[in-house]
Amino acid sequence: LGLGEADGHWYVVMELVRGQSTAQLVRAGDLAPALVLDVGCQVAAGLAHIHGLVVDDRPAGLVHCDIKPENLLVDEYGIVKIADLGIAALAGDRTATGGTLGYMAPEQLDGNPEPRSDLFALGATLYVLATRQRPFERSLRGLLELERRLGEPAFTAPVDARVPGLGEVVRRCLRADPAARFAHARDLGLALAQVRGRTPAGASPAAASALLRAPVPRPVAADSAPTLADLPRSSSGRSASAGNLIR
**Residue 75 burial (CB count, 10 A):** 24
**What's the order of all strands across the beta sheet hosting 72-75?**
80-82, 72-75, 16-21, 237-239
CB 199 within 8 A of CB 148: no
CA 59 to CA 55: how far, in whole Å? 6
Please report, for the chain, how many H helices and E strands are present, in that order.
9, 10
- The answer to whether residue 223 is catalytic is no
- Of 38, 66, 75, 118, the active-site residue reads 66
How many alpha carbons lie under 13 Å from residue 118 in its C-beta half-sphere? 34
Q: Phi and psi for 88 in degrees, rounded to 5?
A: -55, 150
Instruction: For residue 73, give the DSSP letter.
Output: E
Do the strands 62-63 and 2-6 form a parallel or antiparallel pair, or are they unpaired? unpaired
Residues assigned a catalytic role: 66
